[in-house]
Structure 1
Amino acid sequence: MTDKHSQTDSSSKLFPIQKLDNFIRPFIVSPGQKISLAKDYNPAYKDHYLDKSEAKSELQKGIKALAKYQDILYAQNTYALLIIFQAMDAAGKDSTIKHVMSGINPQGCQVYSFKAPSTEELDHTYLWRCFKALPAQGQIGIFNRSYYEEVLVTRVHPELLEQQHIPPNLIDKHIWKRRFEEINNFEKYLVNNGIVILKFFLNVSKEEQKKRFLERIDLPDKNWKFSVDDARERTFWNEYMAVYEDMFNHTSTEWAPWYVIPADHKWFTRVVVAGIIYTQLKELNLKYPKVSEEKHQELLQAKAMLESQK
């Protein structure tokens, strides 16, 4: 573990936190900086002043704060928030979404889980299915996996490119660089049109993943979460780490940086993710819409009518 994870302000207490930016800063992938997952980010890291019981308490405060900001986001109807989760299997994406967003009004939030593309999706460009699922103004959209699978899984298994109906001359050594550029341009377009993007990589260790896989096999009520394909895919661990690092180095930008979140302790993962979402929404300076003077007079008339009614 490097110094990058030891610069947290010990006086911070999260929600409400005085210097929340100091708490979350160690997890950001600085644009233009090449990182090493093994050297720069410890999957088992947990802040030295925050224990499990305190984190659960702070998470509940954070959930309430997120609910408040979501209500204003929905009412203002100007910005949208797109939250992207990427991770190796069993890193805790589903449970993080479930816990952190538990106070959100479902009317203003939608979760999409992107699995292997369908025949229809393969007949379109790789961004098409995600473009269709983008959140509208005032909404929060959550992508459980995303278009980033096309520079991760497809890169580890390049034979998948053959299913995408791409002209053969475009499947060359430059395809991944082009996709990085396309994704960066796509995200810049979204940000320029009011869609704020948060990108989380839940960084679970290989040892902890194995432990969680075995638990899914041993506990009958978790059997549905596991398949033999998960064990097979684990044999490509080193290849995945390499393509993840390359992805971070090319797609963590000023307008849409990546956050690498320690995921061996789920309680810590959740409070960090909540803190980052809270900080982003707070920085938007959201406000409930103010009605015009004409509308205000109409409201006063309606109030008088209601008060005069039996």
Structure 2
Amino acid sequence: KTPVSNEGYENKVVGDNVEILPFVNEKMKEEGILSVTKLIENKTDEIPMDDIKFTFVLSRKNGDIYEAVKNANYVIALGDSESTYKTNEAGEFQIKGNQTALFRELKQKETYKVEEKQTNVEYTIKTEAQEEVLEKNIQFLYTNEYTPKAIDLYLKKANREKEGIAGAKFTLYRDKELTNAIASYESETEEKCMIENVRAGTYYLKETQSPKGYRLLEGVIKIEITREEGTGKLMVKINEKEYGQSEGNEQIQIETKKVGENDELHMVVYNDKNFWIPITGGTGMYVLIGIAMIGSIGALVALRKKVKMEH
């Protein structure tokens, strides 16, 4: 068994003399072995992330109820070596895909149950909780189906009064050079889905036409979409600024939906009004120039009278 006490091993200061620190292990009694193996079923062309961890709960039957098995030692084989861990106060332990957790110190003739918790939105649990009386060995096998979750990107154009405006045209690109276009979008007054089934990744949004009477957005909006390790929740960066699951944020809203539903990213892009009068025809242009000239002549006449009066 692993040493129970850490006494004598903590807060050691290295000096000139070599100090021997004995780690004493007791011989393990003849107990049962409970193994939990995680398998991933992937029917897609995408490769799942290797660092995703899956959470299980180990409990033992006590009368008519199950109680969490706290601080139970378990090992995970890594090549030719093993790493030792403990369950937490809730009886939880974690393993990755294609790994096996071995509990070698559990009492025999007891009934144990293992149940997986739904923590990652891209992995559907296909195995229900399993329970069995421990007699020598128990082998529990759990399978998850990997289904990459897509994201629906919603875009709303608005003025500074937060009113929806129409007439803006956007293009979504996959590269910062703006050569690999994914889709184009023209805004309407109501919020509308820009593009469906976007995967996690980095995108670049460029306004190619502004609404009438509004200035064209300068530069490109960089959108970085990732997923939180372990949970798969959406994490988004807009022009290097991070946003989480943002209830109450009027400009950026992120919604991680349940398994089987697309997640959603909602964005509000504001446009400022022009500071000049839009000119749409030759006649209007000459009228505007004439008004400007008359105004200038009037100002010069007034200034000349003022100068004469002072003399």
Higher relative contact order (CA 8 A, sep 6+): 1
Instruction: Report the TM-score, using the length of structure 2 for normalisation.
Output: 0.19
Task: Give the number of the structure whose residues are more often helix, by fraction.
Answer: 1
Task: Give the number of the structure whose residues are more often strand, by fraction.
Answer: 2
Instruction: Report the TM-score, using the length of structure 1 for normalisation.
Output: 0.19
